[in-house]
Amino acid sequence: MASKRFSRIELLQHVFPELTTVELQALDAAAQEQTYAPGAILCRQGEIGRRLFIISEGEAEIFVNTDESQMVLVKNVGSTDYFGEMALINDAPRAATVRTISRCKTLEIDREAFVSTIDHNPALLRAIVRQISNHLRNNDRIIIRELRKKNQALNVAYNNLSSQEKLRTDFIATLSHELRTPLTSAQGFLHLINRGTMQGDAQKVALETVTRNVEKMVGLINNLLVLYEMHLTSPKYSDVSLETIVQEAIREARTMADARIIPIEFVQQDELPMLRGDRNGLLLAIRSLIENALKFNQDNGLVVVNLYLIDENTAGLDIIDQGIGIPPEAQKHIFEPFYRVEGSGPDRLFSGLGVGLAISKFIVEQHKGQIIVESMPGEGSTFTIRLPFSASG
């Protein structure tokens, strides 16, 4: 849509609505028209301005340099907008840089031409000074509003950064804690064995504890390696039985279940077809969920693993516990790497680095599946995996 063309007098009237026709004509005699190609700089921040610009056609953008490298766009201007009015009355440096976006036509008044016009017309000077100060006040308001908006955006970015930083320091605290505890214990036992203090059965028990601690540390490091390498390694797809994988995951979690005296009940409701999937990946994803269901359960609790058909193309697997549950506001974060509901404080109750769910989610999504959680604090959690039988590799 073609925009309206304004005459020179109309443009001047738009900028100086308080002037009489005679005053406008005097100003018109001092004005000249210019045409600029797209990308032309009309004025540059910091340079001393000696000219008022009124845009008659086209669009330009106003930038402010916040430092050497950053240009912040303040606003776009177009037909009848004007800038540089201070240049008519003093030698102030330009407060911004103005660059044309499209071909621009302007009406411009030089300081020299302006000064000789007002020499014959003092009322014109008074009117213009009044107007310019009003206009500057308005401009200040617009710029302050823009700065407020930018400030809010900066605050959001800063908060994001500090929560990432918190996650990072929490992770280091958690990792040191998770490694120091089994290492110190293993070191203590090995010391006693080396001094010959432990013999016979006692030595056997001590060595078993050392082995368990070393396995725990290897498990932690393996999980970290899986998290960092999972984007790099490609899964090995074959036809697998989900039922067999679930049973194996339960078997692998058995030691933990026995230690906590929590039974795992496996219910398979439907016969399932073979699934195209990465056996090791699925085993890891499911075992992590079962281990969490045991870890966050209550004493005398129960874990139910429920395998069923959602429809002919999709398997469903629920892992249900009666544990501490997950607060609603934490549910959207638990699949993020290193996120833990209880953080990393010294009085934390549960071990773990906060990587298990991130790994499970990645693997399930790699199989074009989904993982969701339903949970009530104090009542327990249900993690559900949906897996298509034939979507992968």
- CA 34-37-38 angle, 5° bins: 130
Closest distance to ligand ADP from the beta carbon of 156 (Å):
25
Shortest CB 170 distance to ligand ADP, Å: 11
Q: Is 357 in the site for ligand ADP (CB under 6 A)?
A: yes
Question: Least Å distance between CB 388 and ligand ADP?
Answer: 24
Instruction: Pick between residue 117 and residue 360 the one whose CB is nearest to ligand ADP.
Output: 360
Least separation, in Å, of the C-beta of 227 and ligand ADP? 10
| Segment interacting with ligand ADP, rule: CB under 6 A, options 122-130, 165-173, 275-283, 318-326 | 318-326
Q: How far is the CB of 225 from ligand ADP (least distance, A)?
A: 15
Query: How far apart are alpha carbons 233 and 228 in whole angstroms?
Result: 10
In the complex, minimum distance from the CB of residue 211 to ligand ADP, in angstroms, rounded to a whole number: 21
Return the number of the residue (358 or 385) whose C-beta is nearest ligand ADP.
Answer: 358
Q: How far is the CB of 164 from ligand ADP (least distance, A)?
A: 17
Asked if 286 and 317 count as a contact pair (C-beta separation under 8 A), the reply is: yes
Q: How far is the CB of 370 from ligand ADP (least distance, A)?
A: 16
Q: Which one of residues 281, 316, 356, 388 is an interface residue with ligand ADP (CB under 6 A)?
A: 356
Residue nearest to ligand ADP (CB): 352
Which one among 104, 326, 364, 371 touches ligand ADP, defined by CB under 6 A? 326
Q: Give residues 270-299 in contact with ligand ADP (rule: CB under 6 A).
A: 288, 292-293, 296
> What is the rounded CA–CA span in Å between residue 266 and residue 250?
8
Identify the residue among 354, 369, 385, 388 touching ligand ADP (CB under 6 A): 354
Give the three-class secondary structure for 69. Answer: coil
Q: CB-wise, 242 or 284, nearer to ligand ADP? A: 284
By C-beta, is 279 or 340 nearer to ligand ADP?
340
| Residue with Cβ nearer ligand ADP (106 or 292) | 292
Among the listed ranges 8-16, 21-29, 92-100, 350-358, the one in contact with ligand ADP (CB under 6 A) is: 350-358
- Based on the shown chain and the rule CB under 6 A, indicate whether residue 182 belongs to the binding site for ligand ADP: no
CB 284 within 8 A of CB 325: no
Q: At 144, is the secondary structure helix, strand, or coil? A: helix
CA-CA distance, 109 to 86, in Å (whole number)?
12
- Write down the number of H helices and E strands in the chain: 10, 15
48-87: which residues touch ligand ADP (CB under 6 A)? none
In the complex with ligand ADP, the residue whose CB is nearer, 13 or 297, is 297
Please name the residues in contact with 327: beta carbons below 8 A apart, sequence gap of 6 or more. 341, 377
CB 85 within 8 A of CB 137: no
By CB under 6 A, residue 226 contacts ligand ADP: no
Angstrom distance (rounded) from CA 129 to CA 184: 79
- Quote the tokens at residue 65: 């340099």
DSSP string over 316-383: EEEEEE-SS---HHHHTTTTSTT--TTTT-TT--S---S-HHHHHHHHHHHTT-EEEEEEETTTEEEE
State the Cα–Cα distance between residues 200 and 202, nearest whole angstrom: 6
Q: In this structure, are strands 264-268 and 303-311 parallel, antiparallel, or unpaired? A: parallel
Using alpha carbons, list the distances in angstroms from residue 242 to 103, 246, 323: 66, 6, 26
- 323 counts as binding ligand ADP under rule CB under 6 A: yes
Q: Residues 381, 387, 388, 392: which binds ligand ADP (CB under 6 A)?
A: 381
Bridge pairing between strands 314-321 and 303-311: antiparallel
Please state, in angstroms and rounded to a whole number, the distance separating the CA atoms of residues 162 and 141. 31
Contacts (CB under 6 A) with ligand ADP, residues 86-115: none
**SS3 label, residue 185:** helix
Q: What mask, x for binding ligand ADP by CB under 6 A, covers residues 330 to 349?
A: ----x----xxxx-------
Choose, by CB under 6 A, the member of 84, 277, 316, 352 that binds ligand ADP.
352
- Nearest distance from C-beta of residue 159 to ligand ADP, angstroms: 22
Cβ 279 to ligand ADP shortest distance, Å: 21
Q: Site residues (CB under 6 A) for ligand ADP?
A: 288, 292-293, 296, 321, 323-326, 334, 339-342, 352-358, 381
